[in-house]
Amino acid sequence: MTHSRLDRSQIRMKPLAERANKRCIEADCIMPNTRPTGLDDDTAAAVGATAERIRKARGTGDPVIMSFGAHTIKNCLSPVLIELMGGGWISHLATNGAGIIHDWEFAWQGQSSEDVRVNVERGEFGNWQETGYYINLALVVGAYLDQGYGEAVGKMIEDEGLEIPDAASLAAIVRERVDDEPEGAAAAADLLSAVRRFDLSPGLLEVPHPWKRFSVQAAASRLGIPFTGHPMIGHDIIYNHPMNHGGAVGRTALRDFLTFAASVSQIGAGVYLSVGSAVMSPMVFEKSMSMAQNLALQEGRHLDTHHIVVVDIAPSRWDWRQGEPPEDNPDYYLRYNKTFSRMGGTMQYLNADNRDFLLALCQALA
């Protein structure tokens, strides 16, 4: 049985410049020296202790991995994240698909964050030409080049463009690789399809990013730090655009998941920071930790000296350092805390706004 599918080519895409946005990166950006205002004494002390753990981890060469939700970017905290990377404190950054999008929109037009309620009513939410076109094209090109999701978008921002192969060369590569390297042939065929469907000219496609100094992805690309993207199909506005390609999303996202898992496998006495990510961070981490533990046990080791810090604005009455609460306790259903309490090592939950936490952490490490 074949079910009908919506034809995205019929969607009327509008120029991104016509969209009203809630955030302007130059006006709203939060600089690393901004004073945090919402931390109580206990939370401030916990941030200080986290900074000391990070210092120790980086001193011994253990990783400090930070996963964050899209609001960290939407709240204009990119200068703080860039400062943490530049100082050598963060060895890996990870976010969801929306975090990738907000970071790109800030780099491309200096603004982001639309009014969802109003724009759904108008049939406009997510239907923006440049966001869907360029991010999806970066993923199709990135899949062909064996790049990850965040890596592909970050490189486009940093290079301010994409190199488009000519159709004849791509067709030849498909034929040459199909027997011995079928996955490479498929990625080349996907890019060939995009080149033909959208009549892309070969050579450098210039994509200026006047505000790229605010891009966390571009900074990670420049500094050689993994910035991995962990999307879910249909969750992000780029899926509205006909340039979107499931194969490219799958290839780049899977590569990033394995890059993330590789970082987790090296965690040792390192630190994992989960900031404002209720779904992506715990779900991706638990599978990565399971694989990492499997490999460690085969070598006669066990991963149990790492420290996890979970930060969110939801209050919790449970001390998660004791493990998880019983099922009749409402905190048992705080999935992100419950998941991380099961991941070995030590774990602490901080009830804090991501702005206050990251500012206090950055200043404690400075």
| Domain regions of the chain by residue span | 35-365
Helix (H) or strand (E) run with residue 59 in it: helix 41-59
pLDDT at 333 (0 to 100): 87
> What's the pTM?
0.96
pLDDT at 193 (0 to 100): 97
Q: Tell me how far the alpha carbon of residue 69 is from its chain's centroid.
A: 8
Rounded Cα distance between 107 and 211, Å, is 4
pLDDT at 38 (0 to 100): 86
Rounded Cα distance between 276 and 353, Å, is 8
Give the side-chain half-sphere CA count within 13 A for 43.
22
pLDDT at 318 (0 to 100): 87
CA-nearest of 82, 140, 133 to 108 is 133
23 Cβ partners below 8 Å, 6+ apart? 74, 76, 106, 111, 112, 113
Q: Read out DSSP for 269-318?
A: T-EEEEES-SSHHHHHHHHHHHHHHHHHHHTT------EEEEEESS---S
What is the torsional sign of CA 164, 73, 263, 335?
negative
pLDDT at 186 (0 to 100): 97
Region of residue 146 (phi > 0: left; psi between -120 and 50: alpha; otherwise: beta): left
Q: Which two tokens mark 117?
A: 């309620």
pLDDT at 249 (0 to 100): 98
Contact 221, 160 (CB under 8 A): no
pLDDT at 52 (0 to 100): 98
Length of the chain: 366
CA-nearest of 212, 93, 228, 90 to 157 is 212
pLDDT at 164 (0 to 100): 98
pLDDT at 13 (0 to 100): 98
- Under-50 pLDDT residues of the chain: none
Using a 10 angstrom Cβ sphere, with 0-12 exposed, 13-18 middle and 19 or more buried, the burial of residue 152 is buried
Contact 207, 222 (CB under 8 A): no
Give the side-chain half-sphere CA count within 13 A for 23.
20
pLDDT at 360 (0 to 100): 98
CA-nearest of 328, 308, 330 to 317 is 330
Contact 214, 150 (CB under 8 A): no
CATH topology of domain 35-365: Rossmann fold (3.40.50)
pLDDT at 323 (0 to 100): 83
Percentage of the chain surpassing pLDDT 70?
A: 100
